[in-house]
Amino acid sequence: MISAVPRAVFLCLLAAVALPACSLLKVPAEKPEMSPAQLVLAGHDLRAKAILAPMVEAEPNNAEAALLLSKSLDGLGELDAALKLAEKLVESDASNASYHVHLAAVAGHTAEKASMFKQLGLARRIRKELETAMSLDPKNLDALFGYMLYLQGAPSFLGGDKAKASQFAEKIAAINEAHGWIAKASLAHERKDQAAELDFAVRAVAADPADFDTLAASEQALLAQNKREYKAIEETGCKMLEVDPWRPDGWRMLVEALVASHCWTELDELLETAAQFNGDDLTPYLTAGTAMLKAEQRLPAAQAYIE
């Protein structure tokens, strides 16, 4: 009888029946060699920095290495160093739209931790860099997306315009349908419209189911819902692993599903496997610990995961 089974065990048994297991959870015997660009894309910022820092020191004019190093430093929160490299890149080639976009991104992350006075100057700089990037490359999706978010979030005296932000989402859609839906989902997220965000994210995945960015938009939308559908969360996590198991995003999705289902043994095994794929990114452990604390489950283990 159900009443004879502890509730946590019963929840996990239900999950085992309702949620299909992922097929890509085995660590390959030999890990693939990854270029610095692949390392940065997958979030292996520590490994990327270890390769790129001496490379840039030895070859100060190696713009590609400098850009990747700046991105890895940005990911690690070393914002001053990332900003200096980004500024140097723009100075070396002001006609490169991608350099302006990256400089705007680093300035944005810097503004998040700056004083109110510094934020004003950084906001103007972000806007200037993105506008320059769009003038150089009107179809640059990163520039259009960044400017859209700027219009949505900035106050009107700094050029913010929510109606204009929606127009930029349409511009992105005219260039790339899937990324247009991602843009609309992102705006809905900023406007706290959960239903619209999920609808747009589903449309993004339908437009390009093999694009990691569309799956990431689906991830954000599913986790933003007040009432989470953990079967959909688990399925999305599996799809993300199918596309790229070397990034932590899919593992985090599965962690959320397993914590909600109280599958503690499976959770421990999953975290160990995730660490073998991406040992320098422990955010799956942080996700597990945070979710367990929120659910008031296995509190000593949750604290250990966070530490």
Give the pLDDT confidence of 67-92 residue by residue, as tens digits.
999 999 999 999 999 999 999 999 99
Look at residue 15 in the predicted model and tell me its pLDDT. 54
Position 255 in a domain: yes
Phi/psi of residue 251, nearest 5 degrees: -65, -40
**Residues 15-27: tens digit of each pLDDT:** 554 444 566 567 7
Residue 38 has pLDDT above 60, yes or no: yes
Express as a percent the part of the chain with pLDDT over 90.
Answer: 76
Host domain of residue 301: 243-307
Separation of alpha carbons 283 and 264, rounded Å:
17
- The alpha carbon of 104 is separated from its chain's Cα centroid by a whole number of angstroms, namely 17
Q: Select, from the ranges 81-85, 116-120, 246-250, the one with the highest average predicted confidence (pLDDT).
A: 81-85
Position 142 in a domain: no
At 301, list the tokens. 């283990």
What secondary structure, in 3-state letters, does the chain show? CHHHCCHHHHHHHHHHHHCCCCCCCCCCCCCCCCCHHHHHHCCCHHHHHHHHHHHHHHCCCCHHHHHHHHHHHHHCCCHHHHHHHHHHHHHHCCCCHHHHHHHHHHHHHHHCCCCHHHHHHHHHHHHHHHHHHHHHCCCCHHHHHHHHHHHHHCCHHHCCCHHHHHHHHHHHHHHCHHHHHHHHHHHHHHCCCHHHHHHHHHHHHHHCCCCHHHHHHHHHHHHHCCCCCHHHHHHHHHHHHHHCCCCCHHHHHHHHHHHHCCCHHHHHHHHHHHHHHCCCCCHHHHHHHHHHHHHCCCHHHHHHHHC
Residue 9 pLDDT level (bands cut at 50, 70, 90)? very low
Total number of domains constituting the chain: 1
Position 250 in a domain: yes
Separation of alpha carbons 209 and 220, rounded Å:
15
What is the mean pLDDT of the segment spanning 115-121?
A: 90
**Residues 94-109: tens digit of each pLDDT:** 999 999 999 999 999 9
How many CB atoms sit inside 10 A of residue 271's CB? 20
**Residues 164-220: tens digit of each pLDDT:** 999 999 999 999 999 999 999 999 999 999 999 999 999 999 999 999 999 999 999
Contacts of 66 (CB under 8 A, 6+ apart): 56, 60, 85, 88, 89
Residue 13 has pLDDT above 70, yes or no: no
Position 34 in a domain: no
Residue 225 pLDDT level (bands cut at 50, 70, 90)? very high
**Residues 124-160: tens digit of each pLDDT:** 999 999 999 999 999 999 999 999 999 999 999 999 9
Position 36 in a domain: no
Position 249 in a domain: yes
Residue 3 has pLDDT above 50, yes or no: no
Position 92 in a domain: no
Position 303 in a domain: yes
